[in-house]
Structure 1
Amino acid sequence: MDLRIFTEPQQGATYDDVLAVARATEDLGFDAFFRSDHYLAMGDGDGLPGPTDAWTTLAGLARETSRIRLGTLVSSATFRYPGVLAIQVAQVDQMSGGRVELGLGAGWFAEEHAAYGIPFPAKRFGLLTEQLEVVTGLWGTPVGETFSFDGEHYTLTDSPALPKPVQRSPLDPSRAGVPVIVGGGGPTRTPRLAARFGAEYNQSFPEIASVPGRIAHIRQACVEVGRDPQTLVQSVALVLCVGRDEAELARRAEAIGREVPELREHGIAGTPDEAVERLTWLAEQGVERVYLQVLDLADLEHLQLVAEAVAPHVPQA
């Protein structure tokens, strides 16, 4: 099982704060560093000193790390034109030596769009579908050929479809591309998108008991489009809060404004043994990758505890 660190910098973090967590992620042996793509703090926090742009941040981290995978969970289709996004991601992939992944979703947080003047259409699934078509189409167009697209939301005419990512598409190694992560709880359309475009299907903060059923559903969607379900990585994102004892656990829960019983019910939380037990159960259900949502970016000892007392005991792929 891959363990990835997942952060929410819009809650209040500088680039240097994010960099410190990314370097700890690499030094401690975790598989990847991911961040949200949001422009406004959620909940009661003030978000100071203000948001950092996801792909600007990842470009910096691409040059300041050497091993870990880097990506978004997830970028919003409302934030960027797909042609621009394809260029951004390809460039960061080049800067990292081929370590980038793109999580892409429809967007949901209306308030951040209003705060920064970003249009927020009521119906966004069509935007997401066309963005996936355009981004992967641009990357996959052979060098020397052009890409055109005539959709309801986007029109591209004779694009040179450059630059290309360093990586090859997981779905078609003859073409350039980066792994695309598709997620969401929709019962029909999202699984179909994941089966069509995704290297990975992500369940973000699901009810724990619902995980096996969702995996079965997405695997059936793969079968329906003629894809081997085993080629689609199954992942979940869950909040992380682990302590050596109850006092340390309570301190970490208080620091992120959460209650210990709720964290134990919904996240990877408790003692190291409890965290291992939950991760093992998830692996038994078919989960291959877990994004550990770290909300206190100043608590690097938290990451060290998980690296030393949890990670060595989870099932290996």
Structure 2
Amino acid sequence: MELRVFTEPQQGATYDDLLAVALEAERLGFGAFFRSDHYLHMSGDGLPGSTDAWTTLAGLARDTSTIRLGTLMTSATFRHPGVLAIQVAQVDQMSGGRVELGIGAGWFAQEHTAYGIPFPDTGERFERYAEQLELITGLWSTPVGERYAFDGRHYRLDDSPALPKPVQDSGLRGGVPLLIGGKGARKTPALAAAYADEFNLPFVDEEFTALQFGRVRRAAEEIGRDPASITWSNALVLCVGEDDAAIARRAEAIGREVDELRANGLAGTPGEVVDKIRRYAELGAERIYLQVLDLGDLDHLRLVAAEVMPHV
């Protein structure tokens, strides 16, 4: 099982805060450093304010050396797909080929209102999302020297040079690996089967994990794709402590209850957390994204690296 660090900077973090976590995660041997892509906090005051996901990752691409970098999830409503394809390719070049793109349809209406970003209804958002997946992978996979065109309902590209290219060519359709996630019963599994290098489930229990992994596997089989070619992952809130007092202290620091975190996240002693990770592994999960909400508590990461990582 690969353990990755996942942060929520919109809740209040500077670039230096994120860099400190990324560097420690790299030193400790975590598989990747991921961040959310949001422009508005969801609780608290959000100070000093949100940071742009791909600006952050560009900086981290130069300030880290080996750790992989990515988003859970970039919102398809935020950027024109042609621009996003350029941004991600450039950051991949800057990192030496360490970037992954998690992308979703977008869901947080208030951040769109707060910053003047159009927020179509659910049906249109998914139409745009599907077109973006086709368009971005089309730009990356077009051979150098050839041109790319796209004529969709929402986006149109004519005579594009389809440059720059990412360093990586490891994605299902070329370019950087794509992560798709979500709980939908029909559209999400179909898009994941068609485009995803990795399917991620955020903050769900074991029962729903089994259900949704099964839906995506069936959708892949229906189009002739081997489900084994998809990497399967979960994202869960992290709250680990050596004893009950430490667990309670870390839960209080992020404004959560211990019992709730034990039920819905990865909370408890290292032994408890190892047992729960193994249960997700039995369902097919190959990666766990550890949602770290207290970015100043680097000892939390050190504990997981020492007492959890070696056993999973």
Into which bin does the TM-score normalised by the smaller protein fall? over 0.9
Q: CA deviation at 1:169?
A: 3.4
Query: How do residues 184-203 of structure 1 correspond to structure 2 at under 5 angstroms?
Result: 184-203=182-201
SS in 2 for 1:52: coil
State the AA in 2 paired with 1:145. Answer: E
Q: CA deviation at 1:154?
A: 0.2
Equivalents in 2 of 1:203, 1:285: separation in Å?
12
SS in 2 for 1:128: helix
State the AA in 1 paired with 2:92. Answer: D
Q: Which residue of 2 aligns with 1:167?
A: 168
Equivalents in 1 of 2:170, 2:242: separation in Å?
41
Equivalents in 1 of 2:114, 2:53: separation in Å?
17
Q: Which residue of 1 aligns with 2:250?
A: 252
Q: CA deviation at 1:171?
A: 1.8
- Residue 27 of structure 1 pairs with residue 23 of structure 2: no
Deviations 1:111-154 (A, max 9, x none): 00000010001131001000001100000000000100000000
Deviations 1:53-74 (A, max 9, x none): 0000000000011111100000
The question of whether the paired residues in 2 share the 8 Å contact of 1:77 and 1:131 is answered with: yes
- Residue 2 of structure 1 pairs with residue 2 of structure 2: yes
Equivalents in 2 of 1:179, 1:297: separation in Å?
26
Equivalents in 2 of 1:309, 1:63: separation in Å?
30
State the AA in 1 paired with 2:252. Answer: E
Q: CA deviation at 1:215?
A: 1.2
Identity of aligned pairs, percent? 67
Question: Once superposed, which parts of structure 1, at least 4 consecutive aligned residues long, lie more than 4 Å away?
Answer: none
1:265 counterpart (255, 263, 270):
263
State the AA in 2 paired with 1:36. Answer: S
State the AA in 2 paired with 1:42. Answer: M
Q: Which residue of 1 aligns with 2:108?
A: 109
Q: CA deviation at 1:209?
A: 2.1
Superposition TM-score, scaled by structure 1 size: 0.97
Equivalents in 2 of 1:274, 1:210: separation in Å?
20
Equivalents in 2 of 1:28, 1:169: separation in Å?
25
SS in 1 for 2:274: helix
Deviations 1:43-97 (A, max 9, x none): 2x10000010000000000001111110000000000000000000000000000
Q: Which residue of 2 aligns with 1:283?
A: 281
- RMSD of aligned residue pairs (Cα, Å): 0.7
Q: CA deviation at 1:208?
A: 2.8
Q: CA deviation at 1:210?
A: 1.3
Unpaired runs of at least 5, structure 1: none
Q: Which residue of 2 aligns with 1:99?
A: 98
The question of whether the paired residues in 2 share the 8 Å contact of 1:208 and 1:266 is answered with: no
Q: Which residue of 2 aligns with 1:228?
A: 226
SS in 2 for 1:124: helix
| Length, aligned pairs only | 310
Equivalents in 1 of 2:251, 2:172: separation in Å?
40
